[in-house]
Amino acid sequence: MQTKTIRALEKLRSKINSGHYLLGERLPSERALCKELGISRSGLRKILSHLEAEDLIWRHVGKGTFIGPRPALGTEAFLVVTRKTNPLEIMEARLMLEPKITAAAAQRASFQEIERLALCAKRNHEANDLETNEKWDVLFHETLVIATRNSLLIALYGGINKMRLSEEWCLKKQEWITSENWESFKKQHGAIVRAVRERNEVQAEEAMYNHLISVRSHIQSTY
């Protein structure tokens, strides 16, 4: 890969990792990206292949390129599952998966992924509205699952993330989120980041479990 293409790859990867694009957002057209990055169409396609291999983007022929890992469910199947589930079921699934995911991330995360995790935690706490808060919270948890390097887990968790952005989830969060909860989640996210940074799998798993138990208890209070 030519030096110019490598610089363009690093630039686009940095924009994705910094949260410039929303999870699930479609990237600009190839023509627009080529112009922005100053590279040829063939160079761009090499870049997109690299980013897709890193699970930072996924491509759908005829529809475009989207931010995040490829969803495990097709649109129709996803809608069926979404209609049948609810926030408490989502939390149950997360409690079964995410503590172990976080332990694996503590073992496997790259330096860049750890820094991205810390950035997501910081931006989540600094958010001034619920939509921004939820965006960075989703990216925080997504970064952990990507760090596992397990393509099946990444695809499955993509479905969970989409459900977390559903209308019902957002409405429920409006009912229980408070400034006190926000502050407690800051401390819980901080504990997770520290454990992952220190490569402490046991503490990472425990910190995630405690965080999700706290979230679930707040959700249960609205039922």
pLDDT in tens, 41-55: 999 999 999 898 887
* Global confidence as pTM: 0.71
CB crowding 90-125: b at 16 or more within 10 Å, else e: bbebbeebbbbbbbbbbebbeeebbebbbbbbebbb
**Beta-strand runs (E) in 31-105:** 57-60, 64-67
Quote the mean pLDDT of the chain: 85
Is residue 116 within 8 Å of 143, Cβ to Cβ?
yes
Assess whether 51 and 109 both reside in one domain. no
Predicted local distance difference test score (pLDDT) of residue 198: 97
DSSP 8-state code for residue 28: P
Highest averaged pLDDT of the listed ranges 19-23, 50-54, 108-112, 180-184: 108-112
Contact at 8 Å (CB) between 44 and 34? yes
Residues 112, 189, single domain; the answer is yes
In this structure, of 39-43, 159-163, 208-212, the range with the lowest mean pLDDT score is: 159-163
Residue 80 one-letter amino acid: V
* Mean pLDDT for the stretch of residues 108-134: 88
Looking at the predicted structure, is the pLDDT value of residue 78 above 90?
no
**Containing structural domain, residue 12:** 3-67
206 and 113 in a common domain: yes
Q: Which of 14, 47, 67 is the last residue of a domain?
A: 67
Task: Encode pLDDT of 82-93 as tens digits.
Answer: 667 778 888 898
Distance of CA 128 to the CA centre of its chain: 19
Q: What is the CATH number of the domain that holds 148?
A: 1.20.120.530
Task: Indicate the SS3 state at residue 36.
Answer: helix
| Side chain identity, residue 23 | L
Q: Which of 24, 49, 67 is the last residue of a domain?
A: 67
Domain boundary among 67, 87, 115: 67
Is it the case that residue 169 has pLDDT exceeding 80? no
How is residue 65 annotated by DSSP?
A: E
Length reported for the chain:
223
24-33 pLDDT tens trace: 788 999 999 9
The per-residue pLDDT for 61 is: 76
Considering only residues 154 and 37, tell me which one the structure prediction assigns the higher pLDDT. Answer: 37
Residue 193 tokens read as: 């980041």
Q: What percent of the chain has pLDDT over 90?
A: 38
Q: Distance of alpha carbon 210 from its chain centroid, rounded?
A: 19
